[in-house]
Amino acid sequence: MNRLKQLCLFAGTVLLMFLAMLCVVGSIMGAEWSKWFFTSLAGRGLWICIALLIVAGLVQFEEIFKAKWPLAVYLGSLLVLMAGVTKCNCTLFAGFTIGVIGLFGLFRTKWNRTEIIISALLLSVTVFIFSFFSLPPQLKSVFFVPHVFACFLSYIYFTAAAFFAARLLFNENPELDETAHRLVCLGFAFLTAGIAVGSVWAAFAWNDWWSWDPKETFSLAVWLIFAAFLHFRYLYKQRFLRFNNIWIIAGFILIVLGVVLVNYSKIFAGLHSHSG
């Protein structure tokens, strides 16, 4: 790997982690703070800087598609976000194209029988809840099932990855590390899909594809942390095995905090709050 790519990936990792911390702060400070910062000159500069670093660092398209497809999902999503800032349709179409190619890699991944059964059961439960439970009118949407299914399935994969990462803290087994990495890749793809579908849903229902709701901001923080992990893992492989595992566990803890504090507590008020 040449030094330019190493520099780009490392710089992208640091910037992603910085953005993730800002998203957590924004969730606490409120939607108005987040909206102000990320649409300010400083926020726009961060988005554009990261996008340019990734484009510069991942110029080998064949490598992205064949070996490291989650990074293609990341790159596509990042270009879509940048399009939201710059209002550039070419950037938007490029982001969707690269992202779809990256998501195609999901179907090239071999799933075991347990994962297929869990996915089928979760999809069935989601469809059952949508069809037979009394939901608020704003939740009665065609986007409910794909959004909820993708997000919760990503949580399941991240939980499984954290389980293997915890085991690796006591037994540094390279095979377990590969399993944890694979689960993070799957979780990242489904989280990306869930956030994307949720954004389209918001655009149809509330005429705003992103409102910096506390849950949205927390989910973005999780996405940024695991995107940074994929950067770091791609750059250093298994060189820092214990640090990789701690990183995965930290991302899982952030998911738990997002569900407990944002969805089911009165600390955060927003569209995703169920605390009553």
d(CA 42, CA 30): 18
Kindly report, residue by residue over 69-111, the tens digit of the pLDDT.
Answer: 556 666 676 676 666 556 666 666 676 666 666 665 655 566 7
Is the pLDDT at 158 greater than 90? The verdict is yes
Confidence of residue 275 (pLDDT cuts 50, 70, 90): very low
The pLDDT value recorded for residue 253 is 93
d(CA 131, CA 128): 5
pTM of the model: 0.79
| Domain range list for the chain | 3-263
Confidence of residue 65 (pLDDT cuts 50, 70, 90): very low
Tell me the H-state helices in the chain. 3-29, 31-39, 41-57, 61-66, 69-86, 89-104, 113-132, 144-168, 174-206, 214-236, 241-257
Mean pLDDT confidence for 21-42:
82
Mean pLDDT confidence for 12-34:
83
Kindly report, residue by residue over 174-186, the tens digit of the pLDDT.
Answer: 888 888 988 998 8
CA dihedral 191, 21, 56, 237 (to 10 degrees): -70
Confidence of residue 218 (pLDDT cuts 50, 70, 90): confident
Residues in the chain: 276
d(CA 86, CA 32): 20
Kindly report, residue by residue over 141-154, the tens digit of the pLDDT.
Answer: 778 888 889 899 99
Kindly report, residue by residue over 228-252, the tens digit of the pLDDT.
Answer: 888 888 778 888 888 989 999 999 9
d(CA 161, CA 178): 10
The pLDDT value recorded for residue 41 is 80
